[in-house]
Structure 1
Amino acid sequence: MQQSIDQLIKGRRSIKKFQEKPVDLEEIIDLLEIAKWAPNHKMTEPWRFLLYSGEGKEKFIEAFKATQGTGEEAAEKAAKKAAYFRSIPIHLVVIMPEDPRQKTWDEDYGAVSAFIQNFQLAAWARGIGMIWRTNDWIYNPVFREKVGVQPGEKIVGTLMIGYAEHVPEAKPRTSIREKLEIITE
C-alpha cells in the first residue's frame, strides 16, 4: 500500500547497517531521475554524481584510505572502516559547482540538498535506505583528487545506499511551536 507523503517523511531513517543484497543500478538511476525534479533556481541542475558499486567500491575505499595518515593505529582504523564500506552496496558522491557568487552558491547548495532529500524519500518509498555523510575526509584534497572532483567543485556528501539491515527508532523532534514566531501585525 502506498504511503502518504506525511508518513514517508516521518518514517524515513538514516540507515547505517545494510543487507548484503545488491541494489539494482537501474533502480538507482530511476530514483535519480525522480529526484532531479527538485526546485533549482533558473533550472541550473547544479549536480553531478559518482556512483561506486561492486568492484568499483575499491576506488572509493582506496581514496578514503589515502586520507587516513600513516602508522599502525591509523592503518587499523582505516582497515576497519574499509571493511564497513565494502559491506555497503552503493556509494554515491554528490557534487556541485562552487560558484564564486554567494547568491548562486547558496541557491545551488539548496537545490542539491533538495535533490538529495527527494532521492532519499523516493528510495525509502521503495524500501531502499541510505545515510547522507559529510565526513571530514571529503574535504581532503587527496580524496577529492582520487575520486575525480575537479577544482571549483564541492562534495555535498556521500550517500551510502542499500537495503536496511536495521531501521533505527525515530528520535524525538522539538515542537515547531518552540521555534516559531508568528507575526500578525
Structure 2
Amino acid sequence: MNILDIIKTRRNIKKFKKDPIDKSKVMEWLDAATWAPNHKMTEPWEILFLGPETREQINHKTNFGDAPVVFVVISKKGKTEVEREENIAATACFVQNYMLAAWAEGIGTFWSSVAISQRNRDILNISDEYDVIGVISSGFPEEIPEPKPRVAITEKVKELN
C-alpha cells in the first residue's frame, strides 16, 4: 500500500480481535513515530503502557474495544505557552505517525481522550507538567467501518494576495 492509500483507508477501530500483537512491532511503529516534526527537537512525547489492572481502574465503558495493546501518550508542557502548543502539535503528529505505521501492517487503532479527566490522570500518576494527548488502543480490527464523507479541500483553501 502506498502512503496515500494508507492515509485514506485508516479508520478508527472500536472493536478489536483478541489476537496479540508482537510488542517488538509496536515498538517499531513507536520508533517510526519519533520522526514526527517537532520544534527544536524537543521530542516532548512519552508513552505509558496500560496493563490489565490499570485498564480496569480506568473503567473505560468498552474496555478499549478489547484491544490487546493500550497506551497513553503524554506531552511535556514546556516552559512557555508557545512551547506547550508546539509540543502538543508535535505529539499529535507522533500519534498520527504511529497510527499510520500500524495501519500499514493491518493493525487498527483508536484515539480516545478518556485519560484527560483528573480522576484518570491521578490513576495514571500523570503530573501537571504533562498534557494528556490521548489513549491509543491497537489491535487487529474486528470490523473496519466505512469511510465518513469529508468536506472537499477546495472549500477549505483560501489564497491570500
Q: Same fold (TM over 0.5)?
A: yes
- Out of 20, 26, 35, the position equivalent to 1:28 is 26
Tell me the equivalent position of 1:161: 138
Larger-Rg structure: 1
Where does residue 110 of structure 2 map in the other structure? Answer: 131
2:73 corresponds in structure 1 to 94
Q: Percent identity?
A: 37
Query: Structure 1 unaligned runs (5+)?
Result: 66-77
Inter-partner Cα distance in structure 1 for 2:99 and 2:117? 26
Question: TM-score normalised to the size of structure 1?
Answer: 0.82
Tell me the SS of whatever aligns to 1:132: strand
Following TM superposition, by how much is the alpha carbon of 1:11 offset from its aligned partner in structure 2, in angstroms?
Answer: 0.7
Following superposition, the deviation at residue 24 of structure 1 comes to: 1.1
Match of 2:14 among 13, 16, 19: 16
Measured on the aligned residues, the alpha-carbon RMSD in Å equals 1.6
From the two aligned structures, give the one with the greater helix fraction: 1
Where do residues 10-159 of structure 1 align in structure 2 (5 Å cutoff)? Answer: 10-52=8-50, 56-62=51-57, 64-65=58-59, 81=61, 84-85=63-64, 87-135=66-114, 138-159=115-136
TM-score normalised by L of structure 2: 0.93
Q: Is the 8 A contact 1:129 1:162 kept in 2?
A: yes
Q: Is the contact made by 1:95 and 1:156 (CA closer than 8 Å) also made in structure 2?
A: yes
For residues 93-125 of structure 1, the C-alpha deviation after alignment (integer angstroms, 9 at most, x for no partner) is: 000112251110111011000000000000000
Which residue does the alignment assign to 1:75? none
Structure 2 residue matching 1:42: 3-state secondary structure: helix
Cα distance in 2 for residues equivalent to 1:176 and 1:85? 32
Deviations 1:38-97 (A, max 9, x none): 000111100101112xxx2221321x14xxxxxxxxxxxx7xx26x34722111100011
- SS of 1:99's partner is coil
Number of aligned residues: 161
Q: Which runs of 4+ in 1 moved over 4 A?
A: none
